[in-house]
Amino acid sequence: MYQKTKLKNNLTLITSPLKQTKAVTVLIQVPVGSRYEKKEINGMSHFVEHMMFKGTKLRPTTQDISKELDSVGAEYNAYTGKDHTGYYIKVTADKIELAFDILSDMLFNSVFDDQELQKEKGVIVEEINMYEDNPLMYVHGLFEEIVYGNHPLGWQISGPRSTVKSITRKQMVDYKNKYYEPANMVMTIAGNFSKAKVNTLTKKYFNAGSKSKSKKSFSKINIKQSAPKIRLINKNTEQVQVGLGFPAYGLDDPKKLPLSLLGIILGGNMSSRLFTVVREKHGLAYYVKADVSSYHDTGTLYIQAGLDRKRIKEAIKLILSELKKIKDIGVTDKELSDAKEFLKGKFSLSLEDSENIAEWLGRQQVLSNKIYTPEQKLKKIFAVKKDDIKKVAQEVIQSKHLSLALIGPFKDKKIFSKLLKI
């Protein structure tokens, strides 16, 4: 499925051939995100990502980059998380050198022009405005603010407007140079490619730079929560956006897999418990879902729903009732079997696309420094037992660990604090 090697500069190279496609994805990931930042530069990782598309020594403007990629119908983008950042270009197999050329140019030769930097501040402020004006998007960030508090994991990836406006070019270049070392990067190539061609291109475009890797660290979190927490954003909306959940397990914790299956049974699809009860039986929501997310040292079990504001208390009570049932009684053999098959199916289908394969392999390497094959991953999934799920449910689903984020036409927390019992 994949091969992993190190270049002379200690950049990690992962290759995964997929002959049944005509596409190839080249992805670069760097283990840096908003949790690595200081308060005074919160938003820097995201800002750097934006500026990578604003001109290089060889391609001085955004248009020089985008026109070259658009001319071959490429798909390209970048993303910033709290723990890593990624840049990818997906092209037809015969255009693979263009992907190497432009990615290396962006990563090593971006000029960070000060005029462009000042303009981009306005763009990012508008991105923040868009995010906060969309309750469907904003509620999850709000939920993590409650769970993680004033730890960097509780900060918004984009940073506050005031910090974005105050960032200087020197701060940005220093930050970029600190984290964007070749030895800190993981390059993943997935799709239809010649191994010999890839070897030639990596030597040509990615073999330069220091092979040393300076020590990078982040502040670990220790969550101590002894009572439910609530955060309300008063907004005159017809539909109320609710995010509620609990702190859970880190990326490499063996309990994460049973919790992931629990999340599927609770709200992972249209036959899940929450979807069936909250939407189909009671008509209280258009959508309701459960998800499990993880960082190095912690994570969450998270439920999000768009609810009828006139029946909000009824809906929250119903969600909490389903959480109590799954905690007290557990899951059935059929539910567990179906959840495993659902996860297997989704996982297998995702691996038909070069972009998804590159992201899956690279993410494992950049965050955990180890890679499981699909067969190894599925073996672990199918080894989970009902008792494993019940144990994590009882450990995670506790009233004192509950956090509620809500965006809607409400001001008084007391309306909801009385409901938060499981």
pLDDT averaged over 10-residue windows placed end to end, the chain, 422 residues: 93 95 97 96 98 97 97 98 98 98 97 97 98 96 97 97 98 96 96 96 90 81 94 95 98 97 98 97 95 97 96 96 97 98 94 95 96 93 97 98 97 92 90
CATH class of the 3-205 domain in this structure: alpha beta
- Looking from the CA of 12 toward its CB, the CA atoms found within 13 Å total 24
pLDDT at 216: 80
> How do the domains of the chain map onto residue ranges?
3-205, 229-417
Phi, psi of 304 (to 5 degrees): -125, 140
Q: What share of the chain is helix, strand, coil (3-state, %, to 5)?
A: 50, 20, 30
Tell me, which fold does domain 229-417 have in CATH? Cytochrome Bc1 Complex; Chain A, domain 1 (3.30.830)
pLDDT at 1: 81
Active site residue ranges: 49
Say what the pTM is: 0.95
Asked, colleague to colleague, whether 3-205 and 229-417 share their fold, the answer is: yes
Question: What is the distance, to the nearest Å, from the Cα of residue 42 to the centroid of all Cα atoms in its chain?
Answer: 17
Of 311, 268, 264, 300, the C-alpha closest to 287 is: 268
